[in-house]
Amino acid sequence: MKLFKSILVAATLVLPALPAAAKEYRLLSSWDGNYAYNPYILDPFVEQLKEATDGRISISVSGPETVPPFEQLEPVGSGVFQFLFTHGAYHAGTTPIMLAADALHGDLDAVRESGIFDELDKIYQKYNLKLVMLPITPEGAYHILLREPVNDNGDLEGRKIRGSLSYKGVVEMLGAVLVVMPPSEIYTGLEKGVIDGAAWPIIGALDYKWYEVAPYLLRPGFGVNYEPIFMNLDAWNALSEEDQKAVMDVSAKIEDSWYKDAPEVWKKEEDELKARGMKVTEMGDKQKAELGNAWAAALWTMAEEKDPEAAKQIRDFARSKGLTD
């Protein structure tokens, strides 16, 4: 017995010390592991935050197979999950404000200096969420993949285009009908002709192999992409000041790198898609001229219809800072 105790004590002494108050947090993502933005936003967030906190914050990731994308806000606000990586279109039925954020101009420095991050954060705190990261891109973050090229009028008259609500203005301006469906159904929908195209961030077709069933890239691209990471507000408040600072410092670093790297990442994927046989089809001049306004106006209209007070608050603030028309 004494020998056993001696061995136990000796083993304990050589065990590596665990970080104080180490905890595994649960993050819910609106996309699966193949999502093209993961290596630039989600993966470094998980890895760098664990390193920055000496392991006090480690994160396990669950995707839409656990909770569907359109139902994810509530379980994070209630604390079932502690983090959420998403897009505003997926919870526009609860609040449309982050959906409308894609109507803002894509200048990272201007966004930071404006203070709109704090304005958005105040709104989401009503849902018991803390905005901890707001990665944004320059203009041209979205596009449409097509089974067939544009028609002679330079539009998509009569076609069915998959997209979330954020694409409504552009899809309708092009004469098409918006079909809302989850990403997991896009490949089959294109393959079987249930849809004639799919709107998506300008990278992603490569990993999902949509180029196999939709060989045309509609150009130009459009819009700015805002894909936030939220934290449950109670979990945020329970962090030490040191760990809160670590979360925000890691987030700012990733925001910087993604904004700088995004255009090159976009180009690299387009080059590879073309090498695999995809071709560019161009909108008509009339459609190109209307593109920016169709994108932004529809986003603001949807936000104002859902929550007029909050939408007006954010739009007035954004206008005062030169972030929107």
- What's the pLDDT at 105? 85
Cβ-in-10-Å burial (0-12, 13-18, 19+) of 5 comes to: exposed
66 occurs within a structural domain: yes
Q: What is the pLDDT of residue 325?
A: 83
Q: How far apart are CA 64 and CA 84, in angstroms?
A: 11
Residue range 62-79: mean pLDDT, rounded? 96
Question: Which pLDDT does position 21 carry in this prediction?
Answer: 65
Question: In sequence order, which residues have a C-beta less than 8 Å from that of residue 97 and are 6 or more positions away?
Answer: 88, 120, 123, 124, 303, 307, 310, 311, 314
- Give the sign of the dihedral formed by CA 17, CA 19, CA 21, CA 25: negative
In a domain, 305, yes or no: no
Answer whether the bond into residue 68 is a cis peptide, omega within 30°. Answer: no
Whether residue 3 is predicted with pLDDT greater than 50 in this model: the reply is no
Cβ-contact 198, 162 below 8 angstroms: yes
Q: Report percent pLDDT > 70 for the chain.
A: 94
Q: State the pLDDT at residue 257.
A: 97
pLDDT of 113 > 70? The answer is yes
Among the ranges given (14-23, 124-133, 277-286), the one the predictor scored with the smallest mean pLDDT = 14-23
Q: Is pLDDT of 9 > 50?
A: no
Does 15 have pLDDT greater than 70?
no
Residue 134 lies in a domain: yes
* CA 127 vs CA 75, 77, 130, 266, 285: distances in Å: 11, 6, 9, 34, 43
Q: What is the pLDDT of residue 12?
A: 38
Q: How confident is the model at residue 165 (pLDDT cuts 50, 70, 90)?
A: confident
- Would you say residue 184 lies in a domain? no
Q: Structural domain of residue 131, as residue ranges? A: 15-138+225-263
Q: pLDDT: is 4 or 94 the higher one?
A: 94
Q: What is the pLDDT of residue 182?
A: 86
Tally of structural domains, the chain: 1
Residue 79 lies inside a defined structural domain of this protein: yes
With a CB cutoff of 8 Å and minimum separation 6, the contacts of 39 are: none
Question: 14-28, 110-124, 294-308: lowest mean pLDDT where?
Answer: 14-28
pLDDT > 80? residue 14: no
Higher pLDDT, 211 or 165: 211
What separation, in Å, do the N-terminal and C-terminal C-alpha atoms of the chain show? 79
Task: Give residue for tokens 């028609």.
Answer: 151
Average pLDDT over the chain, rounded to an integer: 92
pLDDT band, residue 106 (cuts 50/70/90) = confident
Mean pLDDT is lowest, of 20-34, 65-79, 118-132, for: 20-34
Domain-located, residue 106: yes
CATH of the domain at 107: 3.40.190.170
Total number of residues shown for the chain:
325
If residue 4 lies in a helix (H) or strand (E), which one and from where to where?
helix 2-14
pLDDT of 292 strictly over 50: yes
CA dist 162 and 178 (Å) reads 6
Average pLDDT of 88-112?
91
Give the number of other CB atoms < 10 A from CB of residue 290: 17
The structure's pTM equals 0.85
Q: Is residue 3 part of a domain?
A: no
Percent of the chain with pLDDT over 90: 87
Indicate whether 64 belongs to any domain: yes
- What is the C-alpha separation between 230 and 250, in angstroms, rounded? 14
For residue 83, report the phi and psi dihedrals to the nearest 5 degrees.
Answer: -135, 155
pLDDT digits (tens, 9 = 90+) for 179-224: 998 888 999 999 999 999 999 999 989 999 999 999 999 999 999 9
